[in-house]
Amino acid sequence: MPPIQLLLASTAPASETHEVPLTITLVFTGLLVGMILCLAFEEKIHAKKSLIAGVFAVVSLLLGTAVHILPFGPVIVGGHEIAMPIYIPAIDWGVIAIILGSSLFIDVTSKSGLFTWIAIKLTKASKGEPRRLLWLYGLMTVVFSAVLNNVTAMLIVGSLTGVSLKKLGREQYLLGFLLVEGLLTNIGGLLTLISSVPNIIVGTAAGISFIEFFYKASPYVIVATVVTVAMGVRLFKIEALPDDAAREQAALQVESFDENDGIESPGFFWFGTAMTGLFVLVIATTSVLPWVSELGMGFVALGFAVIMLLRYKSSVDQFYKGLDWDLLGFFAALFVVINVMEHAQVLALIGTGLAWMIGLGETAGTGLVLVSASAFSSVTDNIPLAAMLAKILGNMGTPSTDPKWWSVVFGANLGGNLTPIGSASTLVAVTIIHRYKLDLSFAGFVVKALPYALIQIALAVAYVLLVLA
C-alpha cells in the first residue's frame, strides 16, 4: 500500500503511453546487470552497498532523463499536489521506516540483557549434552533470526557457541555447530513478515498481513529446522555423552555461566521484556488496530523505537551511530534504480522470462520461480531480486493468494544457504569459523552446506506446491 502516488495529469505513466525502444531497454538492462555484479563482488571492489547502488541510481536518473522515459510532474500526498523530485516517491518509505524502527528498537532492547539472558538459560537447560545443546541452539537461532535479524542472531549464538564448547572441551564440534547455526539463520528469516528484508518487500507488495505470513510460513520453518538440526547431528557426528560421570561434569561446567551478568538494571530488563512482547503483538495486529492500521507497520516500529530510546534520552546518539546507515542508503538508492528500470521497460523484459516460467504450468512455473530465485540469491544480494520480482508480480496483477509470491520469499531466503556470500548471516558464520582458526574455504562451505540447502529448497518447493498452492 504505497503512501504516495505519481500524478500524471496529462499523461499516463511513460511505460504505458509509448513503446520504449529496445535499444534503450537493453542499455538499462546492462546497467542493472552491472549493479548486480558490483554488489556480488562488493568485497573485491572495496565499496559499500549504499555507494554502489547510489552511483547506479545517479547514472540511471541522468540517463532516464536524457532519453525522456521518466514521468516528471507533481505528486499527490494526502490528496494534495506537491512539487517533489522524481526520485523521492520512487522510494518505498514504508519499508525504510520498518527497517529503521526495528533496528533501533532491537539495538536498545539488547542493552537490557534480555537476549543474552535467554541464550545462557538455554545453555544451562542443555546440561552440557552436545546433542541437546545443538537442538537448543538451533531453536534459539531460528527464534532470534525471526525476532531480531539474521546477522545479530548469528553474532549472539555464534559467540556463545564458541564459549560453551570450549568450556565443555568439545571444540571438535565447533565447525558443525557454527555451520548449522549459519544455515538456520536463513530458515528463521522465513518465520515472520519482518524477519528479513525480502519478506518485508514481497509481503508489503503482495498485501500479506503479519499473521497470515506467520501462519503460512511457520509449518515449513518447523519442519526445515528439525531436518537441518537432525542432519547436523548425523553428518557432523555429534555424539552423546558416554556415561553419567561425563554428563554430571558437563552439567556443572555450564552451570557456572551467569545469565545475570549482562543485566545492568533489573527494571530495564523487565521493561525490555514486556516491550518486546508488546512490539510483536502490535506488529502482528497492525492491520486490525484502529488508527494504527492506517499508519502502518513502519509507524509501529518507529513508535516503539522512540519509547525504548527514552531510557537513554541523554545519549540516544550512540544508537544513531550504531545504525546500519549503509543498508538504509542502499535501500533508498535501490528503490530509485528499480523505479527507473520499470520506466525503461527492463522489468517488463524480465517479466517476459517470468511469464515464460509461469506459462510452463502452475506447478512447473511456480517451482521454477522458487529454484531460480534460490540460484540467483546464492551468488548476489537477494534484496534486488526480491524487489524486482515483487514489482513484476505486482504489475502482473498477481493476487496475494498466488503461491508465486511465496516462491520468491522462499527462494530469496534459502538461496543464501548455497554459498557463503549468499547472505550476510552465512558470511558472519564463516567469519566466526575463521576466527577460531577452523579450515573452511569457499568451496569447502559449498560442499558441506549443499546437502542441507538442496533438501531445504526441495522441501520448500513441495510445501509451496502442495500446501500453499
Q: Domain check: are 101 and 84 in the same one?
A: no
Instruction: For helices 210-235 and 174-188, give the axis angle rounded to 10 degrees.
Output: 160
Mean pLDDT over 288-313 rounds to: 89
Q: Domain check: are 29 and 125 in the same one?
A: no
* pLDDT interval class at 302 (50, 70, 90): very high
The chain-wide mean pLDDT, for the chain, equals 85
Tell the burial category of 5 from Cβ atoms under 10 Å away from its Cβ (0-12, 13-18, 19+): exposed
pLDDT above 90 coverage of the chain, percent: 35
> Cell 518505498 maps to which residue?
92
Report DSSP state, residue 171.
G
Sheet with strand 80-82: strands edge to edge: 5-6, 75-77, 80-82
Q: Domain check: are 242 and 277 in the same one?
A: yes
Q: Domain check: are 235 and 247 in the same one?
A: yes
Q: Domain check: are 182 and 262 in the same one?
A: yes
User: Do 282 and 296 form a contact (C-beta atoms < 8 A)?
Assistant: no
- pLDDT tens digits for range 264-291: 899 999 999 999 889 888 887 887 888 8
Q: Is the pLDDT of residue 6 over 90?
A: no
pLDDT above 70 coverage of the chain, percent: 95
**Which of 318, 338, 361 corresponds to the end of one domain?**
318
Tell the burial category of 57 from Cβ atoms under 10 Å away from its Cβ (0-12, 13-18, 19+): buried
User: Do 25 and 349 form a contact (C-beta atoms < 8 A)?
Assistant: yes
Q: Domain check: are 330 and 283 in the same one?
A: no
Count, residues in the chain: 469
Mean pLDDT over 302-315 rounds to: 92
**Which of 318, 347, 375 corresponds to the end of one domain?**
318
**Which of 302, 318, 334 corresponds to the end of one domain?**
318
* pLDDT interval class at 306 (50, 70, 90): very high
Q: How many domains does the chain have?
A: 2
Under 8 Å CB-to-CB from 186, ≥6 apart: which residues? 145, 150, 196, 413, 414, 416, 417, 423, 425, 426
Q: Domain check: are 16 and 31 in the same one?
A: yes
For 41-92, where are the alpha helices, taking DSSP H only? 42-45, 49-66
Q: Is the pLDDT of residue 261 over 70?
A: yes
Q: Domain check: are 223 and 250 in the same one?
A: yes
- pLDDT tens digits for range 33-63: 898 888 777 778 888 888 998 999 999 999 9
What CA–CA distance (Å, rounded) separates 212 from 72? 37
Q: Domain check: are 221 and 294 in the same one?
A: yes
Give residue 12's pLDDT.
35
Q: Is the pLDDT of residue 400 over 70?
A: yes
Q: Domain check: are 141 and 270 in the same one?
A: yes
Q: Domain check: are 131 and 239 in the same one?
A: yes
- pLDDT tens digits for range 136-150: 999 999 998 888 767
Q: Domain check: are 126 and 194 in the same one?
A: yes
- pLDDT tens digits for range 321-371: 888 888 788 878 988 998 898 899 887 787 777 778 877 877 888 999 999
Q: Is the pLDDT of residue 183 over 90?
A: yes
What CA–CA distance (Å, rounded) separates 256 from 252? 7
Mean pLDDT over 2-23 rounds to: 48
Q: Domain of 59?
A: 5-90+324-468
